[in-house]
A and B are shown apart, each in its own frame.
Chain A
Amino acid sequence: MGCIYGLVALGFVLIYKATELVNFAQGDLLMLGAFVCYMFVIWYGVGYWAAFALAIAIVALFGAALDASVLRRVIGQPQFAVVMLTIGLGAIFRAFASMTWGSEIYTLPTPFSAKATRVGGVTISHEYVSIIVGTVILCAVLYAFFTYTRVGVAMQAASQNQLAAYYMGIPVKRMFSLIWAISAGVAAIAGVLLAPVSLIDINLGFIGLKAFAAAVLGGFGSIPGSLVGGITIGLIELFAGAYLPHGFKDVAAYVVLLAVLAIRPQGMFGTVGRKKV
Chain B
Amino acid sequence: MPRALLEVSNVETYYGPIMAIRGISFTVPKGQIVTILGANGAGKTTILKTVSGVMDPQKGSVLFDGKAIHGMDPDRVMRLGLSHVPEGREVFPFLSVRENLRMGAYTRSDPGGIAQDLEMVYEYFPVLQARADQRAGSLSGGEQQMLAISRALMARPAMMLLDEPSLGLSPKLVKEIFDIILRINKERGVTVLLVEQNANMALHIADYGYVLEVGRIVMEDACARLLEKDDIKEFYLGVKEAGVRGTRRWKRKKTWR
B152: Cβ under 8 A from any A Cβ: yes
A115: Cβ under 8 A from any B Cβ: no
Query: Are A168's CB and B94's CB within 8 A?
Result: no
Contact A169/B86 with A160-B93, A161-B93, A276-B250 known, Cβ cut-off 8 Å: no
Which residue of chain A has its CB nearest to the CB of B255? A76
Query: Are A167's CB and B95's CB within 8 A?
Result: no
- Tally chain B residues at the interface, Cβ within 8 Å: 36
Query: B64-93: which have CB < 8 Å to A?
Result: 73-76, 78-79, 83-86, 88, 90-93
B240: Cβ under 8 A from any A Cβ: no
Query: A75, A150, A167, A277: which contacts B52 (Cβ < 8 A)?
Result: A167
Query: A76, A163, A170: which contacts B106 (Cβ < 8 A)?
Result: A170
A100 CB to closest chain B CB (Å) equals 36
Query: Are B86's CB and A156's CB within 8 A?
Result: no
Query: Are B75's CB and A166's CB within 8 A?
Result: yes
Query: B178-226: which have CB < 8 Å to A?
Result: none
Query: Are A167's CB and B88's CB within 8 A?
Result: no
Query: A76, A166, A168, A277: which contacts B54 (Cβ < 8 A)?
Result: A166
Chain B residues whose C-beta falls within 8 Å of the C-beta of A171 in the assembled complex: 75
Query: Are A168's CB and B106's CB within 8 A?
Result: yes
Query: Are B152's CB and A167's CB within 8 A?
Result: yes
Query: Are B78's CB and A167's CB within 8 A?
Result: yes
Query: A75, A160, A165: which contacts B257 (Cβ < 8 A)?
Result: A75
Q: Would you give the 0/1 interface string for B100-116, flagging 1 where the beta carbon is closer than 8 Å to chain A?
A: 10111011000000000
A172: Cβ under 8 A from any B Cβ: yes
- Tally chain A residues at the interface, Cβ within 8 Å: 22
A156 to B103, CA, bound (A): 10
Query: Are A276's CB and B93's CB within 8 A?
Result: yes
Query: Are A169's CB and B107's CB within 8 A?
Result: yes
Query: Are A157's CB and B95's CB within 8 A?
Result: yes
B21: Cβ under 8 A from any A Cβ: no
B254: Cβ under 8 A from any A Cβ: yes
Which residue of chain A has its CB nearest to the CB of B257? A76
A167 to B253, CA, bound (A): 19
Chain B residues whose C-beta falls within 8 Å of the C-beta of A166 in the assembled complex: 54, 73-75, 78
B143: Cβ under 8 A from any A Cβ: no
Query: B16-53: which have CB < 8 Å to A?
Result: 52
A105 to B91, CA, bound (A): 51
A165 to B91, CA, bound (A): 9
Query: Are A156's CB and B95's CB within 8 A?
Result: yes
Which residue of chain B has its CB nearest to the CB of A151? B106
Query: Are B250's CB and A153's CB within 8 A?
Result: no
A154: Cβ under 8 A from any B Cβ: yes
A17 CB to closest chain B CB (Å) equals 10
Query: Are B103's CB and A154's CB within 8 A?
Result: yes
Which residue of chain A has its CB nearest to the CB of B80? A169
Contact A163/B75 with A153-B103, A156-B94, A168-B104 known, Cβ cut-off 8 Å: no
Chain B residues whose C-beta falls within 8 Å of the C-beta of A163 in the assembled complex: 54, 86, 90, 254, 256
Chain A residues whose C-beta falls within 8 Å of the C-beta of B94 in the assembled complex: 156, 160
A200 CB to closest chain B CB (Å) equals 38
Which residue of chain A has its CB nearest to the CB of B49? A163
A243 CB to closest chain B CB (Å) equals 40
Query: Are B75's CB and A169's CB within 8 A?
Result: yes
Which of B88, B92, B94, B104 has the most chain A CB within a 10 Å cutoff?
Answer: B92
A106 to B103, CA, bound (A): 47
A164: Cβ under 8 A from any B Cβ: yes
Contact A168/B151 with A157-B95, A161-B92 known, Cβ cut-off 8 Å: yes
Chain A residues whose C-beta falls within 8 Å of the C-beta of B152 in the assembled complex: 167
Q: Would you give the 0/1 interface string for B233-257, flagging 1 where the beta carbon is closer than 8 Å to chain A?
A: 0000000000000000010111011
A97 to B91, CA, bound (A): 44
A164 to B74, CA, bound (A): 10
B156 CB to closest chain A CB (Å) equals 12
Chain B residues whose C-beta falls within 8 Å of the C-beta of A160 in the assembled complex: 92-95
Query: Are B93's CB and A169's CB within 8 A?
Result: no
Query: Are A168's CB and B155's CB within 8 A?
Result: yes
Chain A residues whose C-beta falls within 8 Å of the C-beta of B54 in the assembled complex: 163, 166
B142 CB to closest chain A CB (Å) equals 16
B25 CB to closest chain A CB (Å) equals 24
Residues of B bordering A, CB below 8 Å: 52, 54, 73-76, 78-79, 83-86, 88, 90-95, 99-100, 102-104, 106-107, 137, 151-152, 155, 250, 252-254, 256-257
Given A169-B75, A172-B75, A277-B253, 11 additional A-B pairs, CB 8 A: A153-B102, A156-B94, A156-B95, A160-B92, A163-B86, A166-B73, A167-B90, A168-B78, A168-B151, A170-B75, A276-B93
| 9 pairs, A vs B, C-beta closer than 8 Å | A153-B95, A154-B103, A157-B99, A160-B95, A165-B92, A167-B86, A169-B75, A277-B88, A277-B254
Residues of A bordering B, CB below 8 Å: 75-76, 150, 153-154, 156-157, 160-172, 276-277
Which 3 residue pairs are nearest across A and B when measured between Cβ atoms?
A: A169-B107, A164-B90, A169-B78
